[in-house]
């Protein structure tokens, strides 16, 4: 077969055309193809030729794109991507330039196996002149007349780039758009000019598998930078299943914080966000920089890793990273929406670094740690976390410095179960309650953490049932004398704290040593008499007490160290409850002990030294 060499009139490059009767996918070349795709197929001297491709690379300028930022060039991109999809995939090369785009639509799984190589290219979102009014057919609780105005074409989501598999209720990626990669490229909208829009994203994905963004930037988005969603239409094709969406070394800049999120993941079975930067994102009534929340109980969001990222100046109403844990009891698939890791990230000037928002089954969940927040550095925030009905969350080896809120508790929740803080450093906390759980709680643990420069107490767990292990911590310094490093509600009883283990902690100079009994006494400094036998917890612990009925022969300061103990023996409620007073100055090492005679009364002290 013969080859000819021609000069491309759009790019100026010399290209080679191969004489053949077949297209790239093996179908016959026709005269229509030679006119419709004139830069891909030629008819010369009554013979058909097709352009020789190198590594399946297609230049968008072969299809008419200019890159001068003047006119809408979406048509050229659509034409080029359609050609690539027809030949089974390839690389769309986008030379450096400014490309104004309305909507680049890739629909159905035939748009698989496409790489868009766009270093130096700017994709500028072309926004319509006016917004459309969209009414939702079904009333929404709290918003019965929901009407929104959007530049988007659909009721649920739209974008400058849209990948939509156009299938419904998929349980795997059989009919998904697969193997899409964006390399380089800056996606730009003008939020300062057009303002917030709930539905018009820069990139919208529905029904995709193995999608990667590398070295991309997303700037000034009106809604989300990238939305991984369960459909574009509220009443149309939905739930096409998304899997393995990845971001590597990308930048998200919301410019003025009048946006939704940088990345929203409403339906995705596996994702990674690595070495990405997020800044100036999210209006106050939206979520944060990254929002992970499946839209329904039948859709999936799980198996996500966020690592080596930075978050700066993030607004919203939740955390810079927010994870919603759905309740999947009763579904046939028994889907677990866990498996999240946030590792080695930097957070600065955020409301909180992390929100975990669970569901009404939170207190009975028995899972291990489904959310792990580790090795992160967090500076200048209102609170260290926002936990609401959360369960199975581990905070490990993080730095939290300069927590500024003095009006909100640091951890706000309606319930929390199996929450552990281990090997973290907490420094410079303004709230006098310290790290505070204010709702129903179960198994809240603090293990080998360091506490510096607090404004009051260190830990507040209002629900005494929530106290788990408080072991090996260093309560180093507070601005005030702290008689009670750990505070809980005055509803506490021995039975409510029977699972508590509080030991081996280290205390600073103005901090009481392991005082546990005050919370059984209305949060007042206990005396020997106010801690009646029915308030003594199971096991043993030391407690500083002030005054009361002192042993006969006791002299000197009545502030003494007392050991309290209750043996956990069946059918023996009070006979095995003891109070032991240890030596005080001027008492020559004497020790006294007394035993309960009923649930509210002590017997006499007996010298046992």
DSSP for 518-555? GGGTTTSPP-TTTS-GGGPPSEEEEEEEE-SSPPTT--
Q: Given 495, 524, 553, which residue is the final one in a domain?
A: 524
Alpha helices in 105-210 (DSSP H): 191-194
Predicted local confidence at residue 517, as pLDDT: 52
Predicted local confidence at residue 588, as pLDDT: 83
- Residue 142 pLDDT more than 70? no
CA angle (410, 486, 594) in 5-degree steps: 165
Q: Given 500, 524, 548, which residue is the final one in a domain?
A: 524
Q: What's the alpha-carbon Rg for the chain, to the nearest Å?
A: 32
pLDDT tens by residue, 346-402: 999 999 999 999 988 888 887 789 999 999 999 999 999 999 999 999 999 999 999
Listed in sequence order, the residues at least 6 apart from 600 whose beta carbon sits closer than 8 Å to its beta carbon are 532, 533, 534
- pLDDT band for 44, please (50, 70, 90 cuts): confident
Residues 223, 262 within the same domain: yes
Residues 371, 302 within the same domain: no
Q: Count how many domains the chain has.
A: 4
Predicted local confidence at residue 573, as pLDDT: 58
Q: Closest by alpha carbon to 521, among 562, 569, 473, 472? A: 562
CA distance 185 to 214: 9
Residues 85, 47 within the same domain: no
Q: Could you give the 3-state DSSP secondary structure of residue 593? A: strand
Which of 138-147, 217-226, 518-527 has the largest mean confidence? 217-226
Q: Is residue 72 part of a domain?
A: yes
Listed in sequence order, the residues at least 6 apart from 364 whose beta carbon sits closer than 8 Å to its beta carbon are 417
Q: Closest by alpha carbon to 420, among 398, 405, 453, 452? A: 398
- pLDDT band for 45, please (50, 70, 90 cuts): confident
User: Which has more pLDDT, 193 or 414?
Assistant: 193
Predicted local confidence at residue 331, as pLDDT: 56
Backbone angles phi, psi at 473, to 5 degrees: -90, 155
**Least trusted range by pLDDT, from 7-16, 103-112, 582-591:** 7-16
Q: What's the mean pLDDT when you consider all of the chain? A: 88
Percentage above 70 pLDDT, the chain: 91
Pairing of strands 251-253, 217-219: parallel
486, HSE (Cβ side, Cα atoms, 13 Å): 29
Residues 76, 172 within the same domain: yes
Q: Is residue 529 part of a domain?
A: no
CA distances from 255 to 190, 192, 247, 382, 605 (A): 9, 8, 20, 22, 71
Note whether 91 and 111 are within 8 A (CB): no
Residues 197, 294 within the same domain: yes
Q: Given 524, 552, 570, which residue is the final one in a domain?
A: 524
Residues 456, 418 within the same domain: yes
Q: Closest by alpha carbon to 273, among 218, 336, 317, 222? A: 218
Predicted local confidence at residue 365, as pLDDT: 82
Q: Closest by alpha carbon to 98, among 187, 206, 219? A: 187
Residue range 495-507: mean pLDDT, rounded = 81
Q: Is residue 531 part of a domain?
A: no
Q: Could you give the 3-state DSSP secondary structure of residue 59? A: strand
- pLDDT band for 50, please (50, 70, 90 cuts): confident
- Residue 143 pLDDT more than 80? no
Predicted local confidence at residue 452, as pLDDT: 96
Residues 212, 359 within the same domain: no
Q: Is residue 347 part of a domain?
A: no
User: Which has more pLDDT, 177 or 6?
Assistant: 177
Note whether 383 and 413 are within 8 A (CB): no
Residues 113, 147 within the same domain: yes
pLDDT tens by residue, 28-40: 888 888 876 567 8
Residues 274, 305 within the same domain: yes
CA distance 367 to 460: 24
Predicted local confidence at residue 506, as pLDDT: 87
Q: Encoding tokens for residue 181?
A: 């990669």
Predicted local confidence at residue 35, as pLDDT: 78
Structural domain for 229, as ranges:
56-337
Note whether 372 and 342 are within 8 A (CB): yes
- Residue 270 pLDDT more than 60? yes
Q: Is residue 513 part of a domain?
A: yes
- Residue 160 pLDDT more than 80? yes
Residues 88, 216 within the same domain: yes
Q: Is residue 533 part of a domain?
A: no
CA distance 354 to 287: 11
Residue range 81-96: mean pLDDT, rounded = 94
Residue with tokens 């093996």: 26
pLDDT tens by residue, 297-333: 778 899 999 999 999 999 999 999 999 998 765 555 6
Predicted local confidence at residue 485, as pLDDT: 85
Residues 217, 305 within the same domain: yes
Residues 72, 97 within the same domain: yes
Note whether 257 and 283 are within 8 A (CB): yes
CA distance 108 to 106: 7
Q: Is residue 532 part of a domain?
A: no
Q: Closest by alpha carbon to 163, among 114, 213, 105, 221? A: 105
Residue range 52-60: mean pLDDT, rounded = 84
Backbone angles phi, psi at 290, to 5 degrees: -130, 125
- Residue 569 pLDDT more than 70? no
Q: Is residue 530 part of a domain?
A: no
């Amino acid at each position: 077969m013969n080859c000819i060499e021609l000069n491309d009139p759009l790019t100026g490059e010399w290209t080679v055309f191969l004489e053949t009767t077949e297209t790239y996918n093996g179908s016959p070349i026709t005269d229509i193809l030679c006119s419709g795709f004139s830069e891909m197929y030629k008819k010369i001297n009554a013979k058909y030729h097709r352009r020789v491709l190198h590594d399946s690379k297609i230049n968008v300028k072969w299809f008419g794109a200019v890159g001068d930022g003047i006119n809408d060039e979406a048509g050229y991109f659509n034409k080029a991507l359609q050609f690539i999809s027809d030949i089974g995939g390839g690389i769309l090369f986008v030379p450096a330039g400014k490309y104004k785009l309305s909507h680049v639509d890739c629909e159905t799984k035939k748009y698989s196996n496409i790489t868009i190589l766009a270093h130096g290219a700017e994709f500028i979102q072309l926004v319509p002149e006016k917004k459309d009014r969209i009414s939702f057919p079904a009333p929404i609780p709290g918003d019965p007349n929901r009407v929104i105005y959007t530049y988007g074409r659909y009721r649920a989501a739209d974008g400058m780039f849209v990948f939509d598999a156009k299938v419904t209720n998929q349980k795997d990626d059989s009919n998904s758009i697969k193997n899409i990669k964006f390399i380089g490229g800056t996606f730009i909208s003008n939020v300062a000019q057009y303002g917030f829009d709930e539905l018009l994203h820069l990139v919208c994905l529905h029904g995709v598998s193995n999608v990667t963004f590398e070295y991309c930037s997303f700037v000034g988005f009106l809604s989300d930078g990238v939305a991984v969603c369960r459909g574009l239409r509220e009443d149309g094709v939905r739930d096409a299943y998304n899997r393995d969406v990845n971001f590597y070394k990308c930048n998200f800049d919301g410019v003025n914080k009048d946006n939704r999120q940088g990345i929203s993941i409403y339906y995705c079975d596996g994702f990674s966000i690595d070495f990405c930067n997020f800044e100036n994102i999210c209006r106050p009534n939206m979520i944060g920089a990254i929002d992970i929340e499946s839209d329904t109980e039948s859709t999936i969001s799980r198996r996500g890793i966020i690592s080596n990222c930075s978050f700066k100046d993030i607004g919203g109403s939740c955390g810079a990273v927010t994870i919603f844990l759905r309740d999947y009891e009763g579904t046939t698939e028994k889907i677990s929406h866990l498996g999240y890791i946030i590792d080695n990230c930097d957070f600065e000037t955020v409301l909180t670094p992390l929100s975990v928002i669970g569901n009404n089954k939170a207190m009975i969940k028995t899972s291990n740690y489904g959310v792990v927040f580790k090795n992160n550095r967090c500076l200048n925030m209102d609170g260290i976390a926002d936990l609401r009905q959360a369960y199975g969350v581990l905070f490990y080896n993080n730095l939290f410095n300069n927590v500024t809120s003095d009006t909100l508790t640091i951890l706000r929740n309606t319930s929390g179960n199996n929450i552990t803080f281990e090997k973290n450093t907490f420094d410079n906390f303004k709230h006098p309650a310290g790290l505070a759980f204010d709702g129903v709680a179960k198994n809240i643990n603090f293990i080998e953490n360091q506490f510096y420069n607090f404004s009051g107490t260190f830990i507040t767990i209002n629900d005494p049932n929530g106290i788990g292990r408080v072991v090996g911590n260093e309560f180093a310094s507070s601005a005030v004398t702290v008689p009670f490093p750990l505070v809980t509600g005055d509803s506490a009883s021995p039975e409510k704290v029977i699972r508590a283990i509080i030991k081996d902690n280290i205390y600073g100079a103005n901090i009481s040593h392991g005082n546990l009994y005050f919370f059984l006494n209305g949060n007042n400094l206990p005396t020997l008499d106010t801690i009646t036998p029915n308030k003594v917890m199971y096991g043993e612990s030391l407690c500083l007490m002030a005054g009361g009925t002192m042993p006969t022969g006791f002299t000197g300061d009545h502030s003494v160290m007392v050991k309290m103990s209750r043996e956990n023996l069946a059918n023996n409620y009070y006979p095995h409850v003891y109070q032991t007073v240890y030596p005080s100055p001027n008492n020559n090492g004497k020790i006294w002990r007394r035993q309960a005679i009923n649930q509210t009364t002590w017997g006499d002290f007996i010298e046992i030294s």
